[in-house]
Amino acid sequence: MSTMTENRRRSTTEIEESTSAWRKRLTSDGAARVAALLSFFVLWLVVSAVFGRVPGPVEVVVRLVEEFARGEVFGNFASTLYRFGVGVALATVVGIAVGVMMGLSQLSRAFFESPVLVGLSIPAIIWSFLTVMWFGFGNLSPIVTTFLTAVPFVIINVAQGVRGVSRDLRDMSSTYNVPLGRRVKDLVLPAVTGYVATGVRFAMIIGWNGVLLSEWFGGSGGVGYRSRFWYDANRYGGFAAWTVLFVGFIVLLDRFVLDRMIRRAFRWRDNAA
């Protein structure tokens, strides 16, 4: 609390008693959140007033309603989600396999290290250019772009998690000749679930970028395609409407699905601490 530093000669209870009820309510967390939302709204209004090209909230809502009325929303959203889902699922499976290998043996680590680093540094835009050239305007190019941009992040996270598995337990299981299958199932996997979840979350943030980019350049329907349609038509309100729509979706997904998953996966660790 800011009052602490200003009046540090008084005790905390004195300060507590001297602050009035309305002031307490005004500085509560909930009030802060409401204030943040309000200031964001005011900022948006100011920016759209200063820069004529930026659409204001009213225009965005109108465009959003229009887009729903045209029936463009659900079809495009579904095709984007399908591509994104397949790409991220593939990235997760391959990423876990390679990541576990990299974490378990030094040699496979040496082998995969450079490809993963190169993969990390290639921008999504290049992948989307290339995949559109390779696979044309279909579902395949967004799927492959999502996969290729997301997989290095999963690999790195999983490998880090596997390397963090308790050395003692690993030594013990090799001393007692525990078979590799059981070692992976009972020791490695439980320990890395949290890292996998973090990696998948990161991969999803990156993957959205990939799927949207290749839809933007690919032109076979989807959120990216529709956004580009409005952008090219110089009707930025339509673009902003789509942005609001899928950013809202991403945030809800992140907040209510992934965050819970991660907390569940790290439960064994955080409870102990």
Partner 1 sequence: MTNQLLEGNAGEVALTRDAGEADARRSARRRQWRQTAFLVAGWIAMILVWELGSWWFGDRILPRPHQVLVEMGEVIRSGNFVPDFTASVLKTFAGFGVAVAVGAPVGYLMGRHRYWQAFFHDGVTVAGTIPAIVYAVLSLIIFGLSNMGPILAVALVSAPYVALNVAEGIRGVDRSLITMSEAFGRTPRQIRREVLIPTIVPFVFAAIRMCFAVAWKVEALTEVFGGRNGVGFQIRTEYQLYDIAGVLAWMFLFIGFMLVIERLVLAKAEARQLAWRPEERSAAL
Would you tell me how many other CB atoms lie within 10 Å of the CB of residue 118? Answer: 10
The residue ranges that bind partner 1 (CB under 8 A) are 1-2, 5, 8, 27, 29-30, 32-33, 35-36, 40, 47, 51, 53-54, 106-108, 110-115, 118, 120-126, 129-130, 133-134, 167, 205, 208-209, 212-213, 216, 224, 227, 231, 236, 239, 243, 247, 250-251, 254
41 versus 268: smaller Cβ distance to partner 1: 41
**Among residues 186 and 259, whose Cβ is nearest to partner 1?**
259
Q: Which residue, 31 or 268, has its beta carbon nearer to partner 1?
A: 31
Task: Enter the tokens of residue 160.
Answer: 């880090």
Place of tokens 């993969």: 119
Cβ(266)–Cβ(201) below 8 Å: no
Identity of the residue numbered 102:
M
Q: Kindly state the smallest distance separating residue 200's Cβ from partner 1, in Å.
A: 13
Long-range (24+ apart) CB contacts under 8 A made by 48-53 are 53/236
- Rounded to a whole number of angstroms, the minimum distance from the CB of residue 126 to partner 1 is 5
Cα distance between residue 245 and residue 119, in whole Å: 30
Q: How far is the CB of 212 from partner 1 (least distance, A)?
A: 5
Which residue's CB is nearer to partner 1, number 36 or number 268?
Answer: 36
Work out the end-to-end distance of the chain between its first and last CA atoms, rounded to an integer number of angstroms.
27
The tokens describing 240, both together, are: 């902003």
User: Would you mind telling me the total number of residues written for the chain in this entry?
Assistant: 273
The string over 40-78, giving b where at least 16 C-beta atoms fall within 10 Å of a residue's C-beta and e elsewhere, is eeeebeeebeeeeeebeeebbeebbeebeeeebbeebbe
Closest separation in Å from C-beta 134 to partner 1 = 5
Q: CB-wise, 73 or 120, nearer to partner 1?
A: 120
Alpha-carbon torsion 174, 180, 186, 191, what sign?
positive
Q: How far is the CB of 136 from partner 1 (least distance, A)?
A: 10
- Smallest gap from Cβ 112 to partner 1, in A, equals 6
Judged by beta carbon, residue 1 or residue 268, the one nearer partner 1 is 1
Compute the distance between CA of residue 243 and CA of residue 238 in angstroms, rounded to an integer: 9
CB atoms within 10 A of CB 162: 25
Q: Which is nearer to partner 1, 14 or 254 (CB)?
A: 254
Q: How far is the CB of 192 from partner 1 (least distance, A)?
A: 20
